Homo-oligomer: A and B are copies of this chain.
Amino acid sequence: MPHPSNRSAIELFLRRLRSHSTLNEEERAEILRLSAIPLDIKAHTDFVRLGETVDHACLVTEGLVGRFGQTEDGKRQFVSVHVPGEMVDLPSVMMPQSATALNTLTRTSIVRIPHKALRDVGFRHPAIAAAFWRVCVLDAGIVAQWLVNVGRRDARSRMAHLFCELAVRYRLMDQSDGISFELPMTQDQLADALGLTAVHTNRMLQTLRGEGLLSITRSRVEILDKVALETAAEFDPGYLLPKSPD
């Protein structure tokens, strides 16, 4: 598979910014001019540890990155997963010592953007700073929905909700028609995103398949009955689609 250039990753990121924030031509140019150091990381690698202090943010070019917390006995909980075009740890610009760690769910390419560059460009252009802030707020809203999901929905509904959300997020990045999309996650990883065990994740997956709601293989999800899936999930995409750009 051809490797998207770093350039295109930043363009994707800019597109996402513009979907909810207004940026003039100069501001857009500034974003595209950000220095971006590419880096390929193999699957299942913790490339930012808990408590580590970082001086750059990561933008996903290809693959999938998960942010997670961990209990002392090693159980993990993904707090978010990030698809290409998303900045994984933009919050780290404001809080360089993170209480969450980063892990590649599959072989992944990222570009690293220095905090200093992000701060500088935000300082020069308040509209950019506002856009960054807004992205953080949006991402935090997703985490909040995950919390509702894990706290108050049963496994089947919870799982349906995750797939509905990811379908929308891939579509927003033009990497899906909203029906099917690449999702290179193992069932262990799905379990860690849903607050379940891998065994039960497997069984629920089979339930959803058996009900004809979706078809899923190791790396691809296809939604077969969107209405039924969204009903099962009680899914409302409002939190992913901000109303107005100011």
CA gap between A71 and B147 in the complex, in Å: 12
In the complex, which range does the number of interface residues on chain A fall in? 35 or more
With beta carbons under 8 angstroms apart, the residue of B70, B100, B140, B148 that contacts A136 is B140
Instruction: Verify if A97 is at the interface (C-beta below 8 Å from B).
Output: yes
From known contacts A79-B148, A147-B79, A148-B71, infer whether A137 and B96 are also in contact, taking CB-CB under 8 Å: no
A137 touches B91 (CB 8 A): yes
Instruction: Verify if A227 is at the interface (C-beta below 8 Å from B).
Output: no
Contact with B along A75-89 (1 / 0, CB 8 A): 111011000000000
CA gap between A145 and B100 in the complex, in Å: 9
Chain B residues lying within 8 Å of A80, measured Cβ to Cβ, are 144
Give the distance to chain B from A246, nearest Cβ to Cβ, in Å. 9
Complex interface residues of chain A between 228 and 246 (CB less than 8 A to chain B)? 234, 236, 238-239, 242-243
Closest to A234 in B: B72
B234 touches A151 (CB 8 A): no
